[in-house]
Amino acid sequence: MPDDRPLSPATIAVTAGRPSAAGDPLNQPIVLASNFRSGGDYTRTHGTDTWAALETAVGALEGGRAIAFASGMAAAAAIVYALTPKVVVIPTFSYLGVRSLLSEYHAQGHVELRPVDITDTAQVVSAAVGSDVVWVETPTNPTLDVADLPAIAAGVNAAGAQMVVDSTFATPLLQRPLEHGATIVLHSGTKFIGGHSDLLIGLCVTTDDDVYDRLVKARTFQGATPGALEAFLALRGLRTLPIRLAAMQKNAAVLVERLRAHPAVADVRYPGQGAMVSFIVNGGATAADALCEGVRIVVPATSLGGVETTIERRQKYAGDAHVPPGLLRMSVGIEDVEDLWADLDANLSR
């Protein structure tokens, strides 16, 4: 193979960060250590080979340098620490954890917030003027709105602000925000990267060396370090992300088509790719709750991105009180799609 031939993302996901010296194990093992012999290295400040392997692989997929954190929220908090914004533009519909974090900073008088409809590019670009950070989430949680990253990035750059993109739903396989001018890409690796609902981990990726150093400093000072087992599991999960995501998307496309034709469904929101589907049932909160209580294969649970299909009504959470009461967010897994549809259809038809 020619040395200059670019590898596909599917190959990078499998190979990046793997030990390569003679006698090395085929896969990066778990490094369980808080300190190391004959030196001043300490895990909180210097990391481990397990972290480094995960960061190498995610960074290679995103086209930047990755930093791993204890959770997605730890990564989000580190971004605020690293960029020290005074004015932040944020989507009205977006992950409630990040909105709650920024709202807390606002309540303490540290930051001004400018909520926007992330699908209204002109509104976002206008709000970016005089801001420090434009926080983009695309697709959004839980409404699956899609932002025009290139156009927003151009406006943010012209305004002299920095753009943060939460790309958790898209994964590094479906979009690469750094190529559009993002300063930082954020992932809750708990979700699709880990892929098995068994870990908490967060990741930031950047091409800016100064921002990278400040993110590492945030992790060090705040103690937001990933666990050894979690980093190992996230890397192992990443290895199968391409085939898991392909199966999830195939299932999602079938379910979306059938949901759109079902008389009990008022609206279906799906951006055309990925494994997240949101749909609104007729009958509001009562009907949506009944569906969640009745399913047997689909799992009524929060979080997302695992091999199993999960569903929940988002408006029941205070932070998502502004979404439609009958909106159900579904993370489509890799089960047989006919079994999934039989489960959903039986409960929708009630």
- Nearest to 12, CA basis, from 70, 45, 59: 59
CB atoms within 10 A of CB 209: 9
Q: To the nearest 5 percent, what fractions of the chain are helix, strand and coil?
A: 45, 15, 40
Strand order in the sheet with 65-69: 65-69, 202-206, 184-188, 162-166, 133-137, 87-91, 112-116
- The rounded distance, in Å, linking the Cα atoms of 279 and 268 is 4
- State yes or no: is 191 an active-site residue: yes
* Residue 69 CA, distance from chain mean position: 13
- State yes or no: is 44 an active-site residue: yes
- State yes or no: is 316 an active-site residue: no
User: Which among 44, 86, 260, 350 is annotated as catalytic?
Assistant: 44
- Nearest to 349, CA basis, from 275, 254, 261: 261
DSSP codes, 258-305: HHHH-TTEEEEE--SSSSEEEEEETTHHHHHHHHHHH-SSSEE-S---
* Residue 226 DSSP code: P
User: Which among 95, 148, 219, 289 is annotated as catalytic?
Assistant: 95
- The rounded distance, in Å, linking the Cα atoms of 126 and 144 is 22
User: Which among 166, 289, 320, 343 is annotated as catalytic?
Assistant: 166
- State yes or no: is 250 an active-site residue: no
Q: What is the CA radius of gyration of the chain?
A: 21
User: Which among 99, 191, 214, 244 is annotated as catalytic?
Assistant: 191
Locate 339 and state its tokens: 């079994």
Active site residues: 44, 95, 166, 191
